[in-house]
Amino acid sequence: MMEKIRKTEEEWKKILTPEQYRVMRQKETEPAFSCIVEKLKVGGIYHCAACDLPLFRSEAKFESGTGWPSYYEPIDPKNIEERFDDSFGMHRVEVICARCESHLGHVFDDGSPPTGKRYCINSVSLKFKPDK
């Protein structure tokens, strides 16, 4: 089991930008097609913007047409947690960082091969580190 990072909301507000705080701690969603990460086409790893845990490889990224970065699998299933989310009258599965429990986005069953999953992730929740 992964060791958790625990911080107060005041501590998170000091670490995260206001937009990151709204998305990652208050579970809001950034506007579609507003993210730079969605357009990146280089090799590397996408990390949690709050705690730096590696989450997704660029090779697992695909163009979903949704306006948010989409991945067909996480870098390691232990690095994310999935929780049922029935907010706003919808039945979805929320994706959170397994270490800091920050909201990342949602996972859907309409994705790309080989998994058929679409991890639809808010770009402000990610920090990209290119391959060397």
Q: What is the pLDDT of residues 43-71, one digit of tens each?
A: 999 999 999 999 999 999 998 999 899 99
| pLDDT reported for residue 60 | 96
Burial class (CB in 10 A: 0-12, 13-18, 19+), 117: buried
pTM as predicted: 0.93
Q: What is the pLDDT of residue 38?
A: 54
Q: Give the pLDDT band of residue 77 (cuts 50, 70, 90).
A: very high
Contacts of 57 (CB under 8 A, 6+ apart): 44, 45, 46, 71, 75
Task: Report the pLDDT value the prediction gives residue 129, as an integer from 0 to 100.
Answer: 94
For domain 9-130, give the CATH number: 2.170.150.20
CA distance to 39, 66, 68, 71, 84, per residue, from 34 (Å): 10, 11, 8, 17, 26
Give the distance from CA 21 to its chain's centroid. Answer: 13
Per-residue pLDDT, 39: 62
Rounded Cα gap, residues 1 and 35, in angstroms: 32
Higher per-residue pLDDT: 41 or 63: 63
- pLDDT tens for each residue of 81-122: 999 988 878 889 999 999 999 999 999 999 989 999 999 999
Per-residue confidence band for 37, with pLDDT thresholds at 50, 70 and 90: low
Q: Which residues are catalytic?
A: 120
pLDDT for 88 equals 77
| Residue 14 backbone dihedrals phi, psi, to 5 degrees | -75, -30
Lowest mean pLDDT among 30-34, 36-40, 114-118: 36-40
